[in-house]
Amino acid sequence: MLNSVGDRLRRQLWGVLLTSLLWLAALGLAPAAWATGVADFTPQAPASHVVDSADLLSRAASTELDRRLESFSGPDLDARLVTLRRLDYGLSLDQLGQGLLERWGGNGGAEQLLLLIESQNNSAAVVASTGLQERLNPALLSSTAISTMGLPLREGARYRQASLDALDRLGAVLQGEADPGPPQLQERLPIETNIPTREETASSNALLWVVVLLVVGTLVPMITWWVFSR
């Protein structure tokens, strides 16, 4: 009788351990599934000007930016915003942008402008087709990504603001105005809040701790009972 109880308990222990290992494996492999390369995007340019593959924007922000990018674009310019969680190993954000320029081609011969945001490192890149670089030189594109977009991203993952600031700066140059330059830090102090951002919530280890506590809470009583029942 006692042996059969012990066998049943051992089978239960192995079942709990197997389930826990599967959970931990799933948690470990999930970030890798977010890695993005050029091949993960559609062969043709999407209808929307906002490709929020990382789900960083609210519906209202996505709609606002899509309208802003549509008005920013024109017969000779196709401007888009692309977000992603993380890059494929060995791929830079600028390389991804260049790959998308080649993959999507021109919209009826229009020049292309891409704003890219990676949420894992809160980094940005701005790339433009060759013809557009005559008006938006590489130094301006780099400064827009690093400074203009980088500041609101570092302030607290302000994806919408980073995109709007970049469009304001590049739009002014395209209209023949002087480059307004990146925003000044002292004019853009972040508002303190105890509410976690979407990125902080997504990167939380809460699920892992729940699994660990469930495993410990299940195994310890069962092992204790099995040891003292022998």
- Judge whether 156 and 197 are in contact, CB under 8 Å: yes
- Residue 114, classified by CB atoms within 10 Å of its CB into exposed (0-12), middle (13-18) or buried (19+), is buried
- Judge whether 138 and 102 are in contact, CB under 8 Å: no
**pLDDT band, very low/low/confident/very high, at 17 (cuts 50, 70, 90):** very low
DSSP 74: B
Q: Please give the pLDDT value at position 183.
A: 78
Strand 111-118 with 123-128, pairing: antiparallel
E strand spans, 119-161: 123-128
* pLDDT (average), residues 122-141: 95
Q: Please give the pLDDT value at position 229.
A: 64
* pLDDT (average), residues 9-23: 53
Could you tell me the pTM of the whole model? 0.67
Helix/strand/coil for 116: strand
Q: Is the pLDDT of residue 1 over 90?
A: no
Q: What is the mean pLDDT of the chain?
A: 79
Strand 35-36 with 86-87, pairing: parallel
**pLDDT band, very low/low/confident/very high, at 94 (cuts 50, 70, 90):** very high
Rg of the chain over all Cα atoms, to the nearest angstrom:
25
**pLDDT band, very low/low/confident/very high, at 2 (cuts 50, 70, 90):** very low
Which is higher by pLDDT, 200 or 226? Answer: 226
- Side-chain half-sphere CA neighbours of 76 within 13 A: 4
Q: Please give the pLDDT value at position 19.
A: 54
- Could you report the per-residue pLDDT of 156-169, keeping only the tens digit for each? 889 999 999 999 99
Q: Is the pLDDT of residue 23 over 80?
A: no
Which is higher by pLDDT, 142 or 213? Answer: 142
